[in-house]
Structure 1
Amino acid sequence: MPKRILQGVVVSNKQQKTLVVKVERRFTHPLLKKTVRRTKNYHAHDEAGAFKVGDMVSIEETRPISKLKRWIVVKDEAKA
């Protein structure tokens, strides 16, 4: 099974080696036929601690690292 890769915005970097990344998804409501936005926060592992709030990053699914962390930061979208 391939690993999922999501893109989102860093909303918190207050923890050591951990980022909270907000990922937004859009879909069409099945009944109303209107585009709906849903957001979800993911805890991602950042070994270097190089990202700050507002950075656009890609995160990749990985093995569980801690109680909440199942994602790892792959790259920074603004610098790439």
Structure 2
Amino acid sequence: MIINKESSRSITVPRKNSRKQRIGIVVSNKMNKTIIVSETKKVKHKYYGKSIIKKKKYMVHDEKNISKNGDQVKIMETKPISKNKCWRLISVLDKIG
């Protein structure tokens, strides 16, 4: 918390560790220390109201190569590791096989 000298009000500063987290399914693990995770969302169309499924793929850093295809994983945003990789693996929620 920072206190302003001119006034007695306190200004709150956002926490540094408030990073985005996602849950998705591993689509590919063919690369070394990298997996591709697909996240699906069900969203209603703004005007028509119809449900639409939106998919997004993330390249995720997997240091120990512990995840396999079909696993459900939790990922977190991090500083850029390579050109396309700015997410890292937190944990494997559900293992397949």
TM (norm. structure 2) is 0.78
Structure 1 residue ranges (4+ consecutive) displaced by more than 3 angstroms after TM superposition: none
Shift of 1:25: 1.4
Residue of structure 1 equivalent to 2:60: 44
- Structure 1 unaligned blocks of 5 or more: none
Tell me which of the two structures has the higher relative contact order, counting C-alpha pairs closer than 8 angstroms and 6 or more residues apart: 1
Between the aligned partners of 1:51 and 1:78, the Cα distance in structure 2 is 10
Shift of 1:49: 0.1
Residue of structure 2 equivalent to 1:54: 70
Between the aligned partners of 1:63 and 1:13, the Cα distance in structure 2 is 21
- Structure 2 unaligned blocks of 5 or more: 1-15
Out of 25, 29, 53, the position equivalent to 2:41 is 25
Pairing 1:6-25 to 2, within 5 Å after superposition:
6-25=22-41
- Alignment size in residue pairs: 79
| Amino acid paired to 1:15 | M
Shift of 1:34: 1.1
Q: Give the greater-gyration-radius structure (CA).
A: 2
Residue of structure 1 equivalent to 2:81: 65
Shift of 1:66: 0.2
What is the aligned-residue RMSD (CA, Å)?
1.1
How many percent identity over aligned positions? Answer: 38
Shift of 1:78: 1.4
